[in-house]
A = this chain, B = another copy of it.
C-alpha cells in the first residue's frame, strides 16, 4: 500500500504531455497542478519543447535526473504504452487520463490489456485509463482536468463518472462540503473499487468513503475488501443501473458489467456497505457521516416550533429501524414546567410558533437525560422566531453534549445564513425531514452492521464429497447430458445432508419393484422432458400395484426409451424453491424463496452470498422475506429455522465445492411445521 500512498500523495510529479495550448487537457493539468497550491516538485514533459510556460520542459522522462513519485499521462492512446514503458524505470505510479482504451472497441481493449500486462511486469500502479484524475485537497493537489480546489475535509469520493465528480465539486463549493480526496477511476484497468477501498481504509484523513459505481470489477475481491474496510469506516455506494433500461444505458456509455441488482444488494448488505438509492440520499448520508458519530441506539427525539413539520417528520420513520422515543411522564412533566399549555410534550415536542430560543434550550436540556442518542431540531422561521439565537443555543448544546444532533430548518432567505453557521460549527442541516431521518437511519444501520460477524474467506471444503461430485458431473458430461439424472442429483443431495423422497429409478423395460410403499407418483426422468405436467409425464396418487402398472404403461407409451422414477407421494404443506445461480460478477449465489403457483406474483426471493457460516444463514433466514414461516403467524406453529439453515448451508458448500454446476434448482422443497423433515421433491442440476 505504500505505493498507492506515493500515487495519491506524491512529493514529485511529472506531467507527460504538458501543453501550452489553452483548453488542451495537457495545459489544464499543468495549470491545476502548478497554480492551486501544490508544494511538491513538478516536471513538465513534452518531446517538442525545452521550455514551456516559462519553465524547463523535459524531452523525455529519462532526462529528469531523479526518481519521480507519480506521472500523469495525457497523450493520445497509441503513445501511452511506449511512454509508460520507457518511464517505468524512474516512475512506478501513473495516472492515465487518455481515452481510447477498452471503452471504445476491440482495438482499444487490446491496448488496455497490453498496458495492464506492462503494469504487472514492471510492478506499476496505474489509475485509469480514461479518467479525470484525482484531487487531494489537503496537499492542494489537483491532478485532474477539472477546475478548482475543494476544501479539505474527511469525505473521500470515488467516481466511475468523471462528469459526476465535476458536478459534485461544483455542488460542494456551494454547500461547503469538504473532501479528503476525489478520485476518478475511469476504466478501472488495474485500480478498481477494491484497491481504492483498501487504500482509503488506511488514509487517516478519510472518515467516510462515498462511491459512485456503475459496475463492480472483481466481485469476490470486492466482497472481501469491503467487508473488512466497512468495519473500520463507513462505505456509502451509489450504484447506478437498478433497472434493465439503466443497465443498457450503462453498457452504451462505459461498457461496465452492471450485474443483477438484487444480488448486488445482498452483497452490499453482507459487506456492511450502505447503499444510497439516489444522488440526494447519497449526499445526505455521506454528509451526515462527515459531521457526526454514529448513533448508539435507534431512538430519536424531535423538537419543533411547528406542528405540521413535526408530523411530517414522524411520517418519515415509516419503514425505518429508527424509532421515536416514548417519553416517561416524568420527562413530560419537566417539559410542562416551561412550555405553554397548548404545547405538545409528546415526541415530537412542539414548542409552538411563538417559541423563543429559551424553549429550544430548555427542551434540549431535558433531552440530555433521555435515552435517545439522536436529536432532530426542526425550525420554521415564524416572524417572531429568533433564528440566530436558536442557532446559538444549538451550537452551545452541541459543545457540551455527546448526543448526535442535526437540524431541519425549513425555509429560504431567513434561515440560509444560519444554516451555514450551523455547518461551520459542526452541525448538519437537512432541507427536508425525510432526508434527515433517512440519513440517521442509514448511519445507525452501519453501526449495527459493523458489529456483525460475516464469513468472507472461503471455508474449508470436504475433499471426499467434492471428489465424488466431480466424478458424477464428469460422468454425465461423458454421457453428453446437460443436466444430471434425478438419481444422481439425489446422491449429491444426500452428500450435503438434504433429504429427498423415497425414490426408485427405472429404465424402459425394467421390472417394477414389488415392495413399493404406496401412495406414490411416477414420472419420466429426462433432461429432454422439461415440462412433465404438460405432456402427461407425471402421474399422481398411485395407491396400489395395479395403478402403478397402468401408469408405467402410459409413461412408456408417451415417452419410450426413457428413464422413469417412482417417488413417495408427499403431503403438501409449504413449498419453497431453493437453488444455486451463477452471477457474472459474484459467482455462485444461493437463492431461496416461497414456491407454489404464485412464486412470481409474490416475488419472495432472497439471495445468500457465499461463503457463509450456518449461524449467518440462520440470521439471513430471519431477515428474509419468508421469515414469517419461521415465526408464529396466526396460531400456525413456526417451521424450523435451523433445519432450513442446514439445507442452505449445504447448498453453499456445494456451490463452493462444485464450481462446475451452472445452475441448481430444488423446486419444490416441502417444509413442515411439525415433526416431519423437509424434503427436496424435485432437484435439477445443470452442468
Contacts and interface: CB of A to CB of B under 8 A. Distances in A.
A346 to B, nearest CB: 5
A249 B344 contact: yes
A383 interface: yes
B170 A312 contact: no
B279 A433 contact: yes
A431 interface: yes
5 contacts: A161-B307, A170-B413, A171-B412, A246-B314, A254-B307
A150 to B, nearest CB: 11
Contacts of A602: 602
A444 interface: no
A305 interface: yes
Interface string A310-329: 11101111100000100000
B315 A246 contact: yes
A684 to B, nearest CB: 17
Contact of A243 (B279, B308, B317): B317
Nearest to A344: B252
User: 10 closest pairs, A vs B, by CB?
Assistant: A161-B308, A174-B412, A163-B306, A253-B307, A167-B380, A170-B411, A246-B314, A164-B308, A240-B311, A252-B344
Nearest to A343: B253
B413 A353 contact: no
B170 A381 contact: yes
Interface string A324-354: 1000000000000000011010101010010
A553 B313 CA distance: 60
Number of copies: 2
A252 B350 contact: yes
Interface string A271-312: 000000011100000000000000000000000011111111
A242 interface: yes
A431 B324 CA distance: 30
A317 B245 contact: yes
B245 A383 contact: no
A187 to B, nearest CB: 13
Contacts of A412: 170-175
B380 A163 contact: yes
Given A167-B381, A214-B308, A412-B171, A432 B280 contact: yes
Nearest to A625: B601
A166 interface: yes
Interface in A1-60: 23, 28
Contacts of A344: 249, 252-253
A527 interface: no
Interface residues of A, number: 89
A311 B246 contact: yes
B598 A628 contact: yes
A657 to B, nearest CB: 33
A569 interface: no
A600 B383 CA distance: 48
Report which residue of A173, A346, A348, A601 has the largest number of chain B beta carbons within 10 angstroms of its beta carbon: A601
A315 B163 CA distance: 18
A308 B240 contact: yes
B243 A315 contact: yes
Contact of A434 (B253, B278, B316): B278
A410 interface: yes
A147 interface: yes
B415 A316 contact: no
A160 B534 CA distance: 60
B411 A171 contact: yes
Given A432-B278, A633-B597, A312 B174 contact: no
A514 interface: no
A258 to B, nearest CB: 9
Contacts of A621: none
A230 to B, nearest CB: 23
A489 to B, nearest CB: 23
Interface string A360-384: 0000000000000000000011111
A636 interface: yes
Contacts of A112: none
A70 B597 CA distance: 66
A308 B166 contact: no
A128 to B, nearest CB: 15
Contacts of A242: 315, 318
Nearest to A280: B432
A414 interface: yes
